[in-house]
């Protein structure tokens, strides 16, 4: 690479070289290179690839074009197909993006992880702001998950603000801590140096004055000086360059920039200009045959023009196609074509590309840009393309739908139906404000009740999945008020309404809506609505205290989903079956249901459900006293929700993480997590009343504010005894609330809670945790040591180990008060050991203080490898993950071996690296081998 091209970029190039050196050592990273067009981003990427090749790394280089957004995964796969040596072969075996885009990305990540186990890899992607939606999703998922592997991602992106999938992916990565390299305009010294480099001589004062008017943009400066360098015509006077003042060039091309490029190309023949204009309209690498077709010429007539354009450095060869040397040249050429001419060329492109069998999504782009008359055939073709595109790139499909709506005008007969489809697409991808704005606008124009109901259903469904339950209920009420709506549509609306009401606090109303949904769905054979409605009945049953009924109903929903498949199966009623089983202390079965359901969701590609699976598994591990495992699951769920921008589970996941931080005694993290949850709640992202109220009360109690803690529980206490969801999920919450109420002198509240847990236990006989919690609560309320002792014994049959520890502590305290100090000490000591084993450090510290002296846990001897101090830093789950990673297994392989999700494995790895001060799988492998060698040396 000529030295001049890197003038003024020494610091950025040094940072990239350091990142490449670190990648060679096994540490993955991602750098975002940002700057205005022509500022030097592409040249930095080229320099990085050359240095990587010198180091012996594999390189994969890709560049997005404006038409990439219509081709799923084209940007990333294009880079990997052009890798040297080939990184991923047999691309066809990855599968069709339309069938399951999340599975495809996971497969691609697994192959990359396997490859870099043998050889470090550099992936450079230019013009990421134009990347297709699936590539953008892959970046959001793969960049964080491959951080511990020797992969360096260099992503170049324009600084101009724009809404696009690629730009959104960049913003999310920056929020997660990815480093940004901002390329600023060259200063005067660098401009002088670049002039000397290009011209080979010292520039005079007039030339420098002109060069400085380039705004410090290297590409523009080279274009301005190219004529002088090659001995061409004189440079224009300074005053002859419109559009260049003191500001650097931005994303929009100024008249001066277009003029500069046109001067560079002015010596080209007319045929060469026609070739460039056709290529600019096509908007991607193109063949001479395609370009000739736009002008109605034979390809052979433009062969010489192609060679001429390449000699002039306007075009370059890319395999069997031609591409512009720089996107700014293409944009300049395109902007110089008169509007009517561009429209004609786009219309010709439709015919040419159809003959070339190009994807319908690409043809749709030219239809939009070139059509003036919107007959039914043209609109139907666009709607078909929108439907096809929605399977892989729903946000891109939504954009195409919006552009089609704008193009066809307000009076087109298909507009209401297309608007309803667009609302559904916008809602699916979380663009709720746009969906609501379009939906409300469309509703004002009037439409058939059936179409209107489906539009309202689309809004309600999206708002529900987006966590905005109150707004979802309002839309369902409007839909249900419409006349002459088919039962199948009403069933869908009622099922969504039932689930929204469950979170919005209307349990009786939710039960009524669920019953009506199931009734209508049965009569209309609308199986997805039937499964969803029965799932709502199950949740309502559990919330009201009928756990056995909840299990039966959830099982029926699962049976329908399994029998009829399709959309019914993709609603994943196993989520609610697992939750009901956990409430019944059937932890092993619940874990198996979650494992099967999560694998099924992965196979279906229903990524929206992934945060839910992680949440339920986290709650299950917390109930068992496996705090570190619960943290890994909850963190994985929150990370997935953020990466997929589906924050419906954001509040409960953050609340769970806040409670888990409390378990570890980390009050600051607990406060931070809870505050994040409250902000989401304030933004309209709803949750069950139990989530925030219970978490807030626990934090206030830990801070020594019992009165405020009890006040925070008021929304829950006001719902007793009709709504007892908290006690079905956490039976130990009852004795804890009673303990808090007695501490503050609120005996009436304590009695009401005791009555509620007693009624729940009687309604669900044979459930050990409920029976034990009932006895425990009564023992506290009545101050009866005998009942507390009975509770300790009853908890022996419960899988909820932490609850037995709490009962032991309460019994120990009662024995202290009655003077049985030796027995009290033994009881509290046993509680301490259970708390410590479970990772409940705050509880362990509390009981240690009760005895007035520090305690050391008496844990049973573990496997030999746990005996060393080094291994003791990790939990048993983390040790399993570390050993499998050291064997060379990928995250996906580790997950399969341990019956986890790859995201949970990634969460465990993050904790391992943090605890051990490591940053890569290579370093972890060395650490494991070192520990094993030390153990072997010790015999």
Q: What is the per-residue pLDDT for 328? A: 80
pLDDT(302) > 90:
yes
Higher-confidence residue of 587 and 105: namely 587
**Do 156 and 45 form a contact (C-beta atoms < 8 A)?**
yes
Residue 781, Cα to own-chain centre: how many angstroms?
Answer: 46
* Beta-ladder partners of 286: 322
Residue 861 pLDDT greater than 60, yes or no = no
Q: Which token pair is 715?
A: 């929304």
Cα atoms found within 13 Å of the Cα of residue 615, Cβ hemisphere only: 25
pLDDT, mean of residues 9-38: 93
Nearest to 567, CA basis, from 602, 529, 596: 529
Q: Residue 249: pLDDT above 70?
A: no
**Cα separation of 102 and 100, whole Å?**
6
Within its chain, how far is the Cα of 520 from the centroid? 35
Q: Is 802 helix (H, G, I), strand (E, B) or coil?
A: helix
Distance CA 245, CA 230 (A): 27
3-state secondary structure of 137: helix
**Model pTM score:** 0.81
Residue with more model confidence, 927 or 329: 927
Q: Per mean pLDDT, which of 156-170, 238-252, 406-420, 670-684 is the most reliable?
A: 670-684
Terminal alpha carbon distance of the chain? 57
Say how far apart CA 310 and CA 272 lie, in whole Å: 10
* Position with higher pLDDT, 29 vs 237: 29
pLDDT computed for residue 161 by the predictor: 64
The 10 Å Cβ neighbour count of residue 119 is 13
pLDDT band of residue 245 (cuts 50, 70, 90) is very low
DSSP 888-927: T--HHHHHHHHT--HHHHHHHHHHHHHHHT--SHHHHHHH
pLDDT score at 243: 32
pLDDT in tens, 401-427: 988 998 888 888 888 889 888 888 887
Question: What percent of the chain has pLDDT above 70?
Answer: 91
Q: Give dist(CA 386, CA 307) in Å, integer.
A: 38
pLDDT at 180 over 90: yes
Average pLDDT along the chain: 87
Q: Provide the pLDDT confidence category of residue 99 given band limits of 50, 70 and 90.
A: low
Taking 90 as the threshold, does the pLDDT of residue 541 lie above it? yes
Task: List the structure tokens of 512.
Answer: 């009524």
CA 662-667-672 angle, 5° bins: 100
Q: What percent of the chain has pLDDT over 90?
A: 56
Band (603; pLDDT cuts 50, 70, 90): confident
For 932, residues 6+ apart whose C-beta sits below 8 A from its C-beta are 865
Sheet containing 121-126, strands listed edge to edge, beginning at the edge strand earlier in sequence: 58-63, 121-126, 151-158, 29-35, 179-182
Q: Say which residue, 853 or 937, is predicted with more confidence.
A: 937
Q: What is the mean pLDDT of residues 739-751?
A: 96
Asked whether residue 85 carries a pLDDT value surpassing 60, the answer given is yes
286: helix, coil or strand?
A: strand
- Give residue-wise pLDDT tens across range 184-227: 888 888 888 888 887 777 777 777 776 766 677 888 777 767 65
Alpha-carbon radius of gyration of the chain? 32
**738 vs 742: CA distance, rounded Å:** 6
Tell me, what's the pLDDT at 752? 96
Confidence class for position 242, pLDDT limits 50, 70, 90: very low
What pLDDT sits at residue 855?
A: 61
Q: How many residues does the chain have?
A: 939
3-state secondary structure 90-114: CHHHHCCCCCCHHHHHHHHHHHHHH
pLDDT tens track for 456-481: 988 888 788 777 888 899 999 999 99
Reported as a single tens digit per residue, the pLDDT across 429-450 is 767 778 888 888 888 887 889 8
d(CA 404, CA 383): 9
For tokens 């320099």, what's the residue?
A: 47
**For residue 854, what pLDDT is reported?**
67
Q: Point out the least confidently predicted range of 466-475, 518-527, 855-864.
A: 855-864
More confident call, 69 vs 348? 348
Does 506 have pLDDT greater than 80? Answer: yes
Give the per-residue pLDDT at 236.
42
Using an 8 Å Cβ cutoff, are 265 and 305 in contact?
Answer: no
- Give the model's confidence band at 232: pLDDT under 50 very low, under 70 low, under 90 confident, else very high: very low
729-745 mean pLDDT: 96
Mean pLDDT, residues 47-69: 91
* Per-residue model confidence (pLDDT) at position 425: 83
């Amino acid at each position: 690479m000529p030295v001049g091209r890197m003038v003024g970029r020494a610091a950025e190039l040094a940072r990239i070289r350091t990142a490449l050196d670190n990648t060679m050592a096994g540490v993955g990273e991602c750098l975002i290179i940002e700057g205005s067009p022509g500022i030097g981003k592409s040249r930095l990427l080229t320099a990085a690839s050359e240095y990587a090749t010198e180091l012996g790394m594999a390189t994969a280089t890709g560049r997005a074009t404006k038409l990439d957004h219509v081709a799923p995964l084209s940007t990333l796969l294009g880079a990997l197909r052009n890798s040297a040596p080939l990184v991923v072969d047999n691309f066809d075996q990855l599968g069709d993006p339309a069938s399951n885009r999340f599975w495809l990305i996971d497969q691609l990540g697994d192959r990359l992880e396997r490859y870099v186990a043998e050889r470090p890899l550099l992936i450079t992607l230019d013009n990421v702001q134009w990347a297709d939606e699936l590539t953008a999703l892959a970046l959001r998922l793969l960049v964080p998950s491959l951080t511990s592997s020797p992969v360096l991602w260099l992503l170049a992106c324009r600084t101009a603000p724009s809404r696009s999938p690629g730009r959104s992916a960049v913003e999310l990565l920056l929020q997660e801590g990815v480093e940004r390299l901002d390329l600023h305009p060259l200063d005067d010294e660098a401009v002088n140096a670049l002039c000397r480099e290009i011209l080979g001589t010292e520039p005079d004062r007039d030339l420098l004055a002109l060069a400085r008017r380039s705004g410090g943009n290297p590409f523009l400066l080279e274009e301005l000086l190219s004529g002088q360098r090659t001995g061409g015509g004189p440079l224009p006077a300074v005053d002859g360059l419109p559009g260049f003042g003191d500001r650097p060039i931005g994303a929009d091309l100024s008249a001066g920039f277009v003029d500069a490029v046109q001067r560079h190309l002015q010596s080209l023949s007319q045929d060469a200009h026609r070739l460039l204009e056709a290529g600019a309209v096509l908007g991607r690498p193109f063949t001479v045959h395609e370009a000739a077709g736009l002008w109605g010429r034979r390809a052979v007539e433009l062969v010489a023009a192609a060679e001429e354009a390449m000699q002039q450095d306007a075009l370059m060869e890319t395999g069997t196609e031609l591409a512009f040397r720089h996107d700014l040249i293409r944009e300049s050429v395109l902007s110089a074509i008169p509007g009517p001419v561009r429209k004609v060329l786009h219309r010709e492109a439709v015919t040419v590309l159809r003959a070339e069998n190009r994807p319908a999504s690409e043809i749709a782009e030219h239809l939009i840009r070139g059509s003036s008359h919107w007959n039914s055939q043209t609109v139907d073709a666009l709607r078909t393309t929108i439907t096809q595109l929605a399977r892989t790139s729903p946000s891109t499909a939504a954009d195409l739908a919006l552009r089609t709506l704008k193009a066809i005008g307000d009076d087109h007969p298909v507009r209401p139906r297309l608007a309803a489809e667009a609302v559904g697409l916008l809602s699916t991808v979380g663009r709720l404000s746009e969906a609501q704005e379009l939906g409300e606008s469309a509703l004002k124009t009037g439409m058939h009740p059936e179409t209107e109901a489906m539009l309202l259903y689309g809004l309600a469904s999206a708002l529900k999945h987006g966590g905005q339950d109150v707004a979802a209920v309002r839309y369902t009420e409007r839909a249900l008020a419409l006349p002459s709506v088919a039962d199948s549509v009403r069933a869908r609306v009622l099922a969504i309404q039932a689930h929204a009401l469950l979170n919005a606090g209307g349990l009786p109303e939710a039960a009524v809506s669920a019953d009506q949904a199931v009734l209508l769905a049965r009569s209309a054979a609308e199986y997805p609505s039937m499964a969803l409605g029965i799932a709502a009945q199950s949740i309502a049953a559990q919330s009201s205290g009928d756990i056995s009924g909840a299990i039966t109903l959830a099982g029926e929903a699962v049976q329908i989903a399994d029998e009829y498949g399709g959309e019914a199966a993709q609603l994943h009623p196993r989520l609610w079956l697992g939750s009901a089983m956990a409430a019944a202390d059937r932890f092993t079965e619940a874990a198996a249901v979650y494992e099967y359901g999560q694998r099924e969701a992965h196979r279906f590609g229903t990524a929206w459900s992934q945060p839910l699976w992680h949440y339920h598994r986290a709650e299950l591990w917390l109930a068992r006293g496996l705090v570190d495992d619960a943290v890994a699951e909850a963190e994985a769920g929150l990370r997935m929700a953020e990466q997929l921008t589906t924050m419906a589970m954001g509040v409960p996941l953050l609340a769970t993480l806040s409670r888990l931080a409390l378990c570890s005694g980390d009050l600051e993290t607990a406060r931070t997590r809870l505050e994040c949850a409250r902000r989401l709640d304030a933004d309209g992202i709803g949750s069950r009343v139990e989530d925030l109220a219970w978490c807030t009360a626990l934090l206030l109690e830990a801070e020594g504010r019992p009165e405020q803690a009890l006040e925070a529980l008021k929304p829950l206490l006001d719902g007793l005894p009709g709504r007892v969801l908290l006690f079905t999920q956490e039976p130990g919450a009852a004795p804890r609330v009673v303990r808090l109420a007695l501490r503050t002198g609120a005996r009436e509240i304590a009695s009401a809670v005791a009555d509620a847990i007693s009624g729940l236990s009687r309604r669900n006989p044979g459930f050990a945790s409920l029976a034990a919690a009932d006895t425990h609560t009564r023992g506290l309320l009545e101050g009866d040591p005998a009942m507390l002792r009975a509770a300790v014994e009853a908890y022996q049959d419960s899988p909820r180990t932490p609850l037995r520890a709490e009962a032991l502590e309460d019994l120990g305290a009662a024995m202290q008060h009655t003077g049985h100090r030796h027995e009290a000490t033994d009881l509290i000591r046993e509680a301490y050991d259970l708390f410590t084993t479970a990772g409940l450090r705050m509880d362990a510290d509390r009981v240690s203080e009760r005895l007035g002296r520090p305690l050391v846990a008496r844990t049973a001897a573990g496997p030999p490898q746990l005996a060393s101090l080094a291994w003791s830093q990790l939990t048993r789950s983390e040790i399993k993950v570390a050993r499998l990673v050291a064997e060379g297994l990928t995250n996906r392989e580790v997950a399969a071996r341990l019956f986890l999700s790859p995201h949970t494995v990634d969460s465990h790895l993050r904790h391992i690296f943090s605890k051990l001060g490591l940053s890569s799988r290579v370093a972890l492998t060395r650490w494991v081998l070192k520990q094993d060698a030390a153990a072997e040396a010790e015999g």
